[in-house]
């Protein structure tokens, strides 16, 4: 059955029963593991797992006791199987007695709503979507089909979530953007934030993220974007399709991030700039200006082209020794 699911070929006992997945180095009888990186190959010969997903071209150098399932792409096969084992995404198709759903809200077929969750007036929730406990969905919010919102998620009024999205615990979508105008006396006047947030299809957002609503218009997270935990996205930002962003990154207002970008952890990006498609930003970099060349890799603070940074850092590490040599040469010159 598992081999059929992943379109794999079996080498070994086709009748073994699998109860769940396990890492290759910690496998036990009844589990399935995988070998996607050759540096873990030694564990293939010692694992106690009953089955092992491997690449079709894998050639064992020693006997393997586990049944092999050969597939075209091990990582994709593992991702698919883990979805089958993951019960946290399974809904009951019912609304808990302790939940509050406004009479004017619209629920699709098979929607699940957990205890103490609130769905405000005019909200729309698509077929098969799962709302876990203690989720707050504001007035006029629209959520598509087959989404999963984990406990503690907050969706403010009039925001839009596409189909097959996943939002992890305590993330806030649609909070006010950071908009204030200084007065002559040094105090600040708040600028009303009347826009919304639009999250397109197949987006996953980690825990404890904040995506601010636009001052006017929309903050937009395009299709297929993947956001790690603890990310701040300010008002009127647009993140292009299939961009991935690691934890603790902050993006200031009105910045445009292109499609298929890769942004490392703890990156800071200033506002009102454009970052082109395919940009790769190394962790802990600070981006202070536009990146206008597609596919560029940058590093540092302020970020510069990755190769330049690595070469510059190699010199930087030698500065104490270079300083000594320079001083020695100066003394010899004076003598």
In the numeric block, which tokens belong to residue 221?
A: 């997270």
Contacts of 21 (CB under 8 A, 6+ apart): 31, 32, 33, 78, 81, 82, 85
Q: Which helix (H) or strand (E) holds 330?
A: helix 319-334
Distance CA 53, CA 306 (A): 36
Tokens representing 171? 């993330």
Query: Left if phi > 0, otherwise alpha if psi is -120 to 50, otherwise beta: which for 179?
Result: beta
| Active-site residue, selected from the candidate residues 235, 242, 260, 272 | 235
What dihedral do alpha carbons 36, 40, 42, 45 form, nearest 10°?
-40
Using alpha carbons, select from 239, 244, 190 the residue that is nearest to residue 211.
Answer: 239
Q: Check: CB of residue 21 under 8 Å from CB of residue 32.
A: yes
- Please report which helix (H) or strand (E) contains residue 316, including its range: helix 306-317
Does the annotation mark 272 as catalytic?
A: no
Answer whether 51's CB lies under 8 Å from 19's CB. no
Q: Which of 94, 53, 50, 92 is nearest to 72 (CA)?
A: 53
Biggest CA-to-CA distance, the chain = 93
- What's the rounded Cα separation, in Å, for the pair 121 and 223? 27
DSSP label at residue 39: G
Q: Is there a cis peptide before residue 302, judged by omega within 30 degrees of 0?
A: yes
Q: So which residues are the catalytic ones? A: 235
């Amino acid at each position: 059955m598992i081999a059929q699911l992943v379109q794999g070929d079996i080498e070994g006992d086709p009748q073994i029963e699998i109860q769940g997945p396990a890492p290759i180095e910690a496998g036990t009888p009844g589990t399935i593991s995988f070998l996607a990186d050759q540096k873990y190959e030694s564990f293939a010969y010692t694992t106690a797992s009953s089955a092992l997903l491997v690449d079709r071209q894998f050639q064992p150098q020693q006997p393997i006791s586990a049944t092999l399932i050969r597939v075209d792409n091990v990582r994709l096969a593992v991702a698919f199987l883990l979805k089958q084992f993951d019960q946290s995404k399974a809904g009951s198709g019912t609304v808990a007695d302790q939940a509050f759903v406004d009479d004017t809200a619209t629920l699709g077929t098979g929607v699940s709503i957990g205890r103490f969750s609130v769905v405000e007036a005019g909200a729309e929730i698509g077929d098969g979507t799962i709302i876990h406990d203690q989720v707050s969905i504001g007035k006029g919010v629209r959520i598509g089909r087959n989404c999963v919102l984990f406990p503690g998620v907050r969706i403010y009024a009039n925001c839009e979530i596409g189909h097959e999205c996943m939002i992890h615990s305590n993330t806030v979508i649609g909070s006010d953007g950071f908009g204030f105008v200084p007065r002559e006396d040094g105090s600040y006047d708040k600028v009303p934030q009347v826009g919304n947030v639009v999250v397109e299809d197949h987006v996953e957002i980690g825990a404890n993220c904040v995506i601010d609503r636009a001052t006017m218009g929309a903050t937009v997270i395009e299709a297929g974007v993947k956001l790690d935990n603890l990310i701040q996205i300010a008002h009127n930002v647009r993140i292009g399709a299939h961009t991935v962003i690691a934890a603790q990154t902050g993006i200031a207002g009105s910045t445009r991030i292109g499609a298929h970008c890769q942004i490392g952890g703890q990156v800071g990006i200033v506002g009102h700039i454009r970052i082109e498609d395919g940009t790769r930003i190394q962790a802990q970099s600070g981006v202070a200006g536009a990146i206008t060349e597609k596919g560029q890799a940058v590093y540092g603070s302020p970020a510069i082209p990755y190769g330049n940074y690595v070469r510059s850092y190699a010199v930087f590490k030698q500065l104490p020794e270079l300083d000594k040599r320079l001083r020695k040469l100066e003394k010899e010159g004076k003598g």
